[in-house]
Amino acid sequence: MGWLDLLLTADSALRLATPLMLCAMAGMISERAGVIDIGLEGKMLAGAFTAAAAAALTGSAWAGLGAAMAVGAAMAALHGFACITHRGEQIISGVAINILASGLTVVVGIALFDQGGQSPPLGPEARFRPIVLPGVETLSGVPVLGPLWRELVSGHTLPTYLALAVVVGAWWMLGHTRFGLRLRAVGETPAAVDSAGLSVPGLRYRAVLIAGLLCGVAGAFLSTAHGAGFVREMSAGKGYIALAALVFGKWRPWPVLFACLLFGFLEAGAARLEGEVLPVIGRVPTQVILVLPYLATVLLLAGFFGRAVPPRALGTPYSKER
Amino acid sequence: MTAPAVRLSGITKRFGPVVANDAVDLEIPAGTIHGIIGENGAGKSTLVSVLYGFHRADEGRIEIDGRPAEIRDSADAIALGIGMVHQHFMLVPNFTVLENVMLGAEGGWRLAGGARGARAALARLGAEHGLEIDPEAEVGGLAVGLQQRVEILKALFRGARILILDEPTGVLTPEETTRFFGLLATLKARGVTVLLITHKLGEVMAATDGVSVMRGGRMVAHRVTAETGPEELARLMMGRDIAAPARPAASAPGTAPALEARGLGWRDRRGVACLEAVDLALRPGEILGLAGVAGNGQSELLDLLAGLMPPQAGEIRIGARRITAADPADPAEMRRLGLAHVPEDRHRRGLVLAMEAAENAVLGYHHGPQAGPPGRLSPAAMRAHCARLMARHGVRPEAPSLRAAAFSGGNQQRLVMGREIEADPAVLLIGQPTRGVDIGGIAALHEQILGLRAKGCAILLVSVELDEILALSDRVAVMAAGRIVAEFPCAEATRERIGLAMAGIPETPGAAAAMAGPGAAGPAGGGGGGPGPADPRH
């Protein structure tokens, strides 16, 4: 694999890691506030469908993005209603969200478009197009930096740049703002937050809603930037991989980003390896290659990187009665 | 005359059918230290929770500094200048001192702006009140006394003029307690009104200007501290003079012990010595009371004796069996050897709350005839056994099919006690039998224990309630810092002597080396193996 190959793999890794980054940050914000979010997958899937449907109907990718974020937030509000207001079991509520999304996207899709659950293919104007950053031309003659800028940094769609900005924003928010301090506190010791005169449900709702918005963006990326329309079950377990990246990254922004990029790289690498004849091994069957990222996920999570300590109050509904 | 800092009138708070506060009145003059005293469950904590906005009163009025106040949540209370230090600290363990102090009073949406001011305020408050602390230290790693300091700083940082302290000394070492009373004086000198919630008479007498006594959810008396004494307060708290239950003489001291421990030692995972060279002997027909501040090794000792943990040093003899590190016994074997155990934490170790009383009544004895024919659990047999047990030990309601969680604390405890007594043990270990049990229930539990003693059982009674130890024990041993530091026969055991031994102060008069005693060097509140520093007293 040459230098350019590596660059192209990295470029595609960044693209493949985009929904992972968005969902993992969503999960991080929700779980640092103490609410387990196993419904990342469902919210992303619903977001993907909504984005494609709205883009198909209005012809605007921006309308798609807005609608996807609204639906993500609505499903998050449902999750919050079940497990913050009514102190329900958070895993069950999250699974319910996933099942709901999986079923509703197909049912509504058939009702709207009558294409077996798919949305109509989206034209270029209804999609997020790759953004060519300034400087590609200027730098094209420069060795190393030129190709790096052209192939890796430039040429991604808006949601990918947004995802990177979200990681930086989440890091800054958690560590440097009042909201972040309160968020971390409510996920560790909600009683302390209550005793400080702050609203535990209020903080948790905000965290859960932010998670919903981010999942919506991830969904919009899948159907209106990465793909050109909605295909049933197009989230394909990425929400769960994001959850794995979240645990692997120990609920901290930079390690989580690293985990997402690693998973993206494994997936991109697997795609590159397809059909290649490797020395010693020979031709690797496609199925084996496709399973690699998932296998790597399992192995990485099996404890190569020390024990992950979750937020103390994660999964525990707060109640004043002691 | 200035208006009182706090005036509560007719405060009533119900939790379902339970009336936790029944038309409570209270008036605290500004700038004084006021004690509220009462037994566990008397309603003290509920009352201050209402004042701090944790719970809303069903009826009644609150006035702060002479003005009517509506306190809907803690934010309202904080705005009125009320601060509270909870019995179980409200601290985020993986936050720094600074972050904990700032939480809820950050001074702007960006932390950096508020942090500078908060750091300066901490330094100023620390210097003024003698509460110096490193603002960057992680709270979870601080000693309990320092964590309490953080809690007090939190309240002062928010400008608290009325400070509620809920059982503040329960988790402190004697040295920390002394320092704490110094702090109370400083706070008072700076005009802070302090509300001290406690069940320790000595603290009220030593530190307060006025005292109110609660019993069974009602306010039964207000006194000026200088005009009352511990005897009167105790009588008011209990509602009657507590006559020690009649107690026949113990069996001859020469009897061979039913259980003997020699040189027991145990260290926890961090290498802290929880038990060191503990010797004790339990004789038939005798109650050995083990007194001590919670977390001085009593829990570990019970675990070792019950077979829940193997000893790391020393040996336990029961009958002909010698239990050592090399040859440990599990709880099932201990039970076969005639030992029964009423654990300290009945919710976690004594009962399965989600299971029926009948199932709980055979836990640990489920291979025996109580549970049905060999190899089978028979619900009918278990219910019949449980019904007998309930009648004999006064468990109410007498409903074997009711879930254990549905019984009150006292009845749960009688169920556990009954289960162990029905097994007719030769040795009974009892941990904190009356924790969270109301006064009427306590008397019944004490009768149970004395009844078993009369049948010739050897009993180890571990309790942090000194009155209980004094009322029941034939001999009193005192634990401090993982050692048995003193032992008295019943007739010679007085509050003072036990108290001094608990604090690790040797009995020689004028001993200057008091603080070098084991109490001062002890592992502060490290007992029970629980996650937090606080003693889980519920």
C-alpha–C-alpha distance, residues A9 and A267, integer Å:
9
| B19 and B129 both lie in a single domain | yes
Distance from CA of A180 to the nearest CA of B (A): 9
pLDDT given for residue B240 in this prediction: 54
By the CB < 8 Å criterion, does A161 face chain B? no
pLDDT digits (tens, 9 = 90+) for B475-503: 999 988 889 999 988 888 877 777 777 76
Which chain B residue is nearest to residue A189, measuring alpha carbons?
Answer: B92
pLDDT exceeds 80 at position B403: yes
Return the percentage of chain B with pLDDT > 90, whole number.
Answer: 49
Which chain A residue is nearest to residue B155, measuring alpha carbons?
Answer: A196
So where are chain A's domains?
3-131+143-301
Contact call for residues A26 and A40 (beta carbons, < 8 A)? yes
pLDDT given for residue B145 in this prediction: 83
Instruction: Please state, rounded to an integer, the average pLDDT across all residues of chain B.
Output: 84
Q: What is the secondary structure of B410-435 as a DSSP string? A: HHHHHHHHHHHHHT--SEEEEESTTT
Are B92 and A188 a contacting pair at CB < 8 A?
A: yes
> Which residues of chain B does A196 touch, with a Cβ-Cβ cutoff of 8 Å?
74, 78, 90, 103-105, 154
Contact call for residues B193 and B162 (beta carbons, < 8 A)? yes
Contact call for residues A43 and A72 (beta carbons, < 8 A)? yes
By the CB < 8 Å criterion, does A194 face chain B? yes
pLDDT given for residue A146 in this prediction: 86
**Chain A interface, best mutation among B85, B90, B92, by max A CB count within 10 A:** B92
Return the percentage of chain B with pLDDT > 70, whole number.
Answer: 88
| B149 and B274 both lie in a single domain | no
- The β-bridge partners of B323 are B316
Are B86 and A181 a contacting pair at CB < 8 A?
A: no
Residues 6+ apart with CB under 8 A from A49: A101, A105, A108, A109, A119, A219, A223, A230
| B36 and B135 both lie in a single domain | yes
| B203 and B323 both lie in a single domain | no
Are A181 and B102 a contacting pair at CB < 8 A?
A: yes
Which chain B residue is nearest to residue A188, measuring alpha carbons?
Answer: B92
DSSP code of B257? P
Q: Judge whether B391 lies within some domain.
A: no
Residue type, B328: P
pLDDT exceeds 90 at position B444: no
pLDDT given for residue A254 in this prediction: 94
Distance from CA of A235 to the nearest CA of B (A): 36
pLDDT given for residue B245 in this prediction: 52
Helix axes A3-32, A253-273, angle to 10 degrees: 140
C-alpha–C-alpha distance, residues A293 and A241, integer Å:
10
Q: How many CB atoms lie within 10 A of CB A291?
A: 12
pLDDT given for residue B174 in this prediction: 67
Residues 6+ apart with CB under 8 A from A190: A34, A200, A313, A318
By the CB < 8 Å criterion, does A4 face chain B? no
Strand pairing report for B483-489 and B475-480: antiparallel
Are B74 and A195 a contacting pair at CB < 8 A?
A: yes
Structural domain of B476: 259-338+426-533
* Among the partner residues A177, A184, A195, nearest to B86 by beta-carbon distance: A195
> Which residues of chain A does B52 touch, with a Cβ-Cβ cutoff of 8 Å?
195
**Chain A interface, best mutation among B46, B87, B97, B103, by max A CB count within 10 A:** B103
| B274 and B147 both lie in a single domain | no
pLDDT given for residue B534 in this prediction: 38
Are A178 and B108 a contacting pair at CB < 8 A?
A: yes
pLDDT exceeds 70 at position B110: yes
Q: What is the maximum span of chain A, computed from C-alpha positions, in angstroms?
A: 68
Are B106 and A181 a contacting pair at CB < 8 A?
A: yes
Looking at B206, B238, B270, the residue that finishes a domain is B238
Q: Judge whether B352 lies within some domain.
A: no
| B228 and B287 both lie in a single domain | no
C-alpha–C-alpha distance, residues B334 and B261, integer Å:
14
Q: Judge whether B495 lies within some domain.
A: yes
pLDDT digits (tens, 9 = 90+) for B227-260: 988 778 877 876 654 445 556 565 555 678 999 9
pLDDT exceeds 90 at position B122: yes
Question: For chain A, which residues score pLDDT lower than 70?
Answer: 1, 303-307, 321-322
* Among the partner residues B79, B94, B111, nearest to A181 by beta-carbon distance: B111
Average pLDDT for B77-81: 94
How many domains does chain B fold into? 2
* Torsion sign over Cα B201, B203, B207, B208: negative
C-alpha–C-alpha distance, residues A197 and B335, integer Å:
50
pLDDT exceeds 90 at position B223: yes
Q: Judge whether B282 lies within some domain.
A: yes
> Which residues of chain B does A194 touch, with a Cβ-Cβ cutoff of 8 Å?
54, 74, 90
CATH of the domain at B200: 3.40.50.300
Average pLDDT for B192-201: 87
ipTM given for this complex = 0.89
C-alpha B2: how far from chain center: 37
> Which residues of chain B does A180 touch, with a Cβ-Cβ cutoff of 8 Å?
111
pLDDT given for residue B249 in this prediction: 60
> pLDDT tier at B438 (50, 70, 90 boundaries)?
low
| B228 and B288 both lie in a single domain | no
**Chain B interface, best mutation among A32, A172, A176, A178, by max B CB count within 10 A:** A178
Q: What is the secondary structure of B431-490 as a DSSP string? A: ESTTTT--HHHHHHHHHHHHHHHHTT-EEEEE-S-HHHHHHH-SEEEEEETTEEEEEEEG
Q: Which CATH number is A3-131+143-301's, of 2.60.40, 1.10.3470, 1.20.1300, 1.10.8?
A: 1.10.3470
Place of tokens 């709901």: A100
Distance from CA of B182 to the nearest CA of A (A): 26
> Which residues of chain A does B73 touch, with a Cβ-Cβ cutoff of 8 Å?
197, 199
Query: Which of B167, B157, B242, B162 has its CA nearest to residue B200?
Result: B167
| B268 and B221 both lie in a single domain | no
| B161 and B309 both lie in a single domain | no
pLDDT given for residue A304 in this prediction: 59
Q: Judge whether B358 lies within some domain.
A: no
| B216 and B291 both lie in a single domain | no
Are A177 and B109 a contacting pair at CB < 8 A?
A: yes
Q: How many CA atoms lie within 13 A of B460 on its CB side?
A: 29
Judged by phi (left if over 0) then psi (alpha if -120 to 50, else beta), residue B3 lies in: beta
Tokens at A169, concatenated: 């924003």
pLDDT given for residue B141 in this prediction: 87
Q: Judge whether B166 lies within some domain.
A: yes
Contact call for residues A127 and A61 (beta carbons, < 8 A)? yes
> pLDDT tier at B511 (50, 70, 90 boundaries)?
very low
C-alpha–C-alpha distance, residues A40 and B300, integer Å:
44
